[in-house]
Amino acid sequence: MPRIWLSLARTAAAAVDSGRPAFWPLTSLAPSRLTTTLLGIFAALALVITAAGIAGVIAFSVSQRTQEFGVRVALGASRRDVESMVLGEGLRLAVTGLTIGMLGAVVLGALLSTVLFGIGPIDAVTYLSVSSVLLVVAALACLLPALRAAAVDPMTALRTT
């Protein structure tokens, strides 16, 4: 706040009640910036943890199915077929989780509608944008295990049986 506004505020406060001291008004945005920054950091951390979890589950599934991928490649499946299969399975899991999460968000949004200000309990823009970001993160998290599954050497995979 410029100093002129502070002096005008003090003059107005003194005109109303000269017996009370005029305190400095809160002019800093630091508390709200700190809260917003921390919220952003925690959201990014949650997104990284989510991506690591998805990648871990898909990588474990790929490691358990190495022989299957070797047989598929030996029988003529292309690497692209194996990649798309692993990506499809990972995205199917992500869509299932998003569907369950959206249903839970709608139910909780309806329950919390009394404390929401400025938005409705069902904010379609927020739901769609968050779902889109999570689907992109899930696709990227599935990419490395899919590439690893596609790179399986059929002879090595078949020898380990």
How confident is the model over 91-99, as a mean pLDDT? Answer: 93
pLDDT computed for residue 108 by the predictor: 87
How confident is the model over 13-22, as a mean pLDDT? Answer: 70
For 43, other C-beta atoms within 10 Å of its C-beta total 11
Confidence of residue 39 (pLDDT cuts 50, 70, 90): very high
DSSP state of 161: -
Counting every residue written for the chain, the total comes to 161
Quote the tokens at residue 48.
């990284």
Cβ atoms of 69 and 149 within 8 Å: the answer is yes
Question: In 38-88, which ranges are E strands?
Answer: none
Task: State the angle between helix axes of 79-111 and 66-74 in degrees (0 to 180), rounded to the nearest 10.
Answer: 140
- Mean pLDDT, rounded, of the chain: 84
